[in-house]
Structure 1
Amino acid sequence: MKPGDDGLRAFFVDYGRAFEAYDDAGIAACYVTPCLFVRDGKTVAAPSPEAVIESVRRLLDLHRAWDVQKAKVSKVTVLEQEPEHTLARVDWRLGRPKSRMSWRYATTYTLVPDPEHGWRIAVAITHDAPF
């Protein structure tokens, strides 16, 4: 899969659907290990799949507290394309069905190509998260 093709947006749409389903294993499967999370000014390394699931569960707990039921990709901006990685910013919109209330934020991802999944996330840096 070439960086910048429609597979990148499709990857994030599927990733958002896993959040909507509160599918911790499905979300975690989108990551390579080791990987790195940067949220709220804190850097957390996840050296194993179990550590990724633990981090994902903490994030899903925040989604539950905010009653997030929708996680939609607003925009994918490819910042850099190399054969071994892609750097992309994804603008997200979170919300509830039949509600005008929504939260917007962005995350910058470093992705690596994966022959089975298309893409896997190596680094996720969340900007201006609502929670």
Structure 2
Amino acid sequence: MPTDEYILYFSVFFQQSLTQSAAIEAGREGEKNSIKESIKYGNKTTAVESVAKCTNLSQSSMADNYKTAPFDARFPNQNQTKNCWQNYVDYHRCQKIKGEDYEPCDYFRRVYKSLCPLRWVETWDEQREEGCFPGKI
């Protein structure tokens, strides 16, 4: 079964097609139109509810974990690779300096989890464990 992170990542990029296809499969034309309207006017709650129904997750767990990274003026372009990297490094620096129980470090974790592909994070975690991570933490 896919992890919650994978499902959230999937839902962000494919929520419109997934929710529309779910409504079509269920044969509910009215629901299909309401989902289209919700997405069109930015009602994320309805889209998240539909994705939760399709993936058999509770609505509250989807909505609680559905967060995107805020705008950062240091990274104004569409490519967010550097933003991902910087927040990953900042999170681990913060934990090293302040300790693992320091709550403000969680901000960096939430941002890098929102921006970074899971495979990159897994690779960087492995590199840190092996002592060959290229960043200065």
Fold agreement, TM-score > 0.5 = no
Higher share of residues assigned helix: 2
Higher share of residues assigned strand: 1
TM-score normalised to structure 1 length = 0.26
TM-score normalised to structure 2 length = 0.25
